[in-house]
A and B are shown apart, each in its own frame.
Chain A
């Protein structure tokens, strides 16, 4: 096994990366190796689909499979080795279909089909032992000795950014929003990876192209969520439970949440959001359900304690899942790309078992004292008061905007984000998104100017994919002020953990956003040389001391 895709990867003076019997995330070596093989077969699918598309032939089902397959390999999604054996067989069949599509299209166009090599012709074994024996051909570092760590690291940046693109595109696709441009970009990236790329230039270009593709994926997901559930509005959310039977929904998937809300209508069961599902409360068609009772718990890394204490069933709809503890394993359900051996999986959107479980489990015995926060400051809400914001900036009432958000995690250094947000001066606004918000969203930030009806200083813009909203707001403000985004009084303090965040970072770089402060550590797959490139081209900075970084950000903008 070798994996270094997440922020929590094993670090030591001898080298970074998880390469033993188990990763830091909990995935075992067999699962890690099988994930590599699945991605390898998907590259083969991409080789054919990329060429077929150039001849005008496409296979939407194959494209959708690739999105889903990639999603299963994100950090903290699927830990079930047996599932990957099945997915690899499916991928091989889809690759055969893609090959036939390409060859037919070529012949129709009067061309001789290319005889492809590498992933296009890799023949996966049919059983786990056979596949594990083949895993070396798909290993991340298989060419490291030949090509050096810089090329391998850049290939990894492309691969991991591609995972994030696929995950967001999958979320959009399940709600009916697809974009040809995204599928084309995914196929292009797969084909490039399958070609054993050796040059820094094309790989860097591909990384930025994926940044653009991710922007399209986030736009598609924004359209999907708002199309299905309405435009988010600022909403007060109860953060403590009420008496009664209860279901907890975690992950990112709003479609699954909606299905659960429908399945529990008028049944005397309350539904609570967890982690990245908190923003659901701001969508009109979801908050319309009176039994969407509130949010429970914090960010994903606290789930082993929070799920154990939750007195009802839990549904994990996407990342982040970590090892289910005994106390709640029997009442945990996975959905979508998520999986853990021995945990019930809901394949078909039928949550009736979850309802049964909620009725059989005790629920909350009493109302807890009420505590609330306000969320839902999507771009419509912010741009709706754009005049006030612009006036406040011109008058100096708002000196600076800090976007402090991204993934949360367990690492001790992440208290930096709490320190940063809480020490941001009173004449600054803190925008947040992703589960990084849980580092400070219970803190009272007050308003700009202090008046009760003033602009709130903390604006929760939504899930990590709502970075799209943040980008649109920044662009509109830049337009209003007649400057570029980099000249706005705006600093981005981004926390990352997994591959959706990697894709968002690539989007920021692709759009030319400079001086992003990235933490809590820099990705292990970015070698010192690659970091230098990113620092030189984009001004990427690591995090340091929160107060000093606040001062530096304000000074740079002044």
Chain B
């Protein structure tokens, strides 16, 4: 039995024992510490932490979830890691991202389905009243819910795009994949009033409230969802951190959530939003290029040392991380969530 000591971003220590044959994630769960995770198969990166000391054996994983660069920096995946001795771990998430009770199972009904640009849909759900949990939508901005497709055992994880609220409203931005199971359900079968089973909130991609640094958010496509949640919450609290949003899509037709971003510009005087279109047509007057390119330019032009929040396809997250590191930002101040197609 090995002793594992994990220190969270906000300085709390969680200790648990682990045997070599079980993953660190399972070991912690056995002691009722439910560390952030999603796929639990080495594919998404939600359970990434840094190994500060000690040795682990890693089962096979996807480099989309854990890049070679991050592995070389000492990062591991909790769902893949097996302790070979006592370990010290450093987590990029706060204690608030750890559950000390099993993840809640909820039911919610579809309230609205609408187009979000040409390649995505906006899904609005309302939670059913639960006698134990009530009807409020309680979660940390940046977290996700696992949605089950009705009459199947198929689940998909989507980030919440709205801020926590008392109405029980949950907003998701869902990219349409031609063969995607949830995409097909939304396109072909979903109706207002359908009941969905949900598991959540889950996830460790949350704001570091205690950090005084500026916050720069970099998002590709529906990766903007958790950023919207974070920015909407900041607006609600009258937060006055300097903040920038770099939001990119491939083509102008794919643009969405512009009204929401406009509203945030009004509500957060210190927000600078840069909308990026990669393959811009002649009528595009915003930034032409990827959000990573916009980020690099901004880092070069500014003396700021912001906290960086990244969300989108793995390639975007990796490229943005590299750009941030190249500009001298510390590994511990870069927080990210990968969106893998599923």
Residues of A within 8 A of B (CB): 21-22, 28, 30, 81-82, 86, 128, 311, 326-327, 329-331, 341-342, 344-345, 353, 356-357, 359-363, 365
Contacts and interface: CB of A to CB of B under 8 A. Distances in A.
Contacts of B133: 362
A439 to B, nearest CB: 29
B200 interface: no
Contacts of B95: 326
A369 B173 CA distance: 47
A34 to B, nearest CB: 10
Contacts of A28: 210
Interface in B68-121: 95-96, 98, 100
A330 B164 contact: yes
B138 interface: yes
Interface string B132-171: 1111101110000000000000000000000010111000
Interface string B164-190: 101110000000000000000000000
B76 to A, nearest CB: 24
Nearest to B240: A82
Interface string B212-245: 1000000000000000000000001101110000
A474 B130 CA distance: 54
A128 B210 CA distance: 13
Contacts of A363: 134
Given A28-B210, A30-B212, A330-B140, 16 more contacts: A82-B240, A326-B96, A326-B98, A330-B138, A330-B139, A341-B209, A345-B237, A353-B166, A357-B136, A360-B134, A360-B136, A360-B166, A361-B134, A361-B136, A362-B131, A362-B133
B193 interface: no
B212 A342 contact: no
B164 A82 contact: no
B212 A81 contact: yes
A344 B237 contact: yes
Contacts of A22: 11
The secondary-structure label for the interface of chain B is loop
Contact of B138 (A81, A82, A311, A331): A331
Contacts of B100: 327
A362 B128 CA distance: 12
Contacts of B209: 341-342
Nearest to B139: A330
B237 A357 contact: no
A37 to B, nearest CB: 14
B46 to A, nearest CB: 17
B207 interface: yes
Interface string B239-264: 11100000000000000000000000
Contact of A362 (B98, B134, B168): B134
A82 B131 contact: no
5 contacts: A128-B212, A344-B236, A353-B166, A357-B136, A362-B131
Which 9 A-B pairs rank lowest in CB-CB distance, beginning with the nearest? A342-B209, A360-B136, A326-B96, A360-B166, A362-B134, A361-B134, A356-B166, A341-B209, A330-B138
A319 to B, nearest CB: 20
B166 A82 contact: no
Nearest to A341: B209
B292 to A, nearest CB: 28
Contacts of B136: 331, 357, 360-361
B291 to A, nearest CB: 26
B132 A342 contact: no
B97 to A, nearest CB: 8
Contacts of A82: 212, 239-241
Contacts of B134: 311, 360-363
Contacts of B166: 353, 356-357, 359-360
A28 to B, nearest CB: 7
A360 B210 contact: no
Contact of B96 (A329, A331, A345): A329
Contacts of A365: 131
B134 to A, nearest CB: 4
Contacts of B241: 82
Given A128-B212, A326-B95, A360 B135 contact: yes
A345 B240 CA distance: 14
A363 B135 CA distance: 11
A360 B136 CA distance: 5
Nearest to B207: A342
Nearest to A129: B212
Nearest to A83: B240
Contacts of A327: 100
Highest count of chain B CB atoms <10 Å: which of A30, A82, A128: A82
A250 B272 CA distance: 39
B298 to A, nearest CB: 19
Nearest to A361: B134
A341 B135 contact: no
Interface string B1-15: 000000000010000
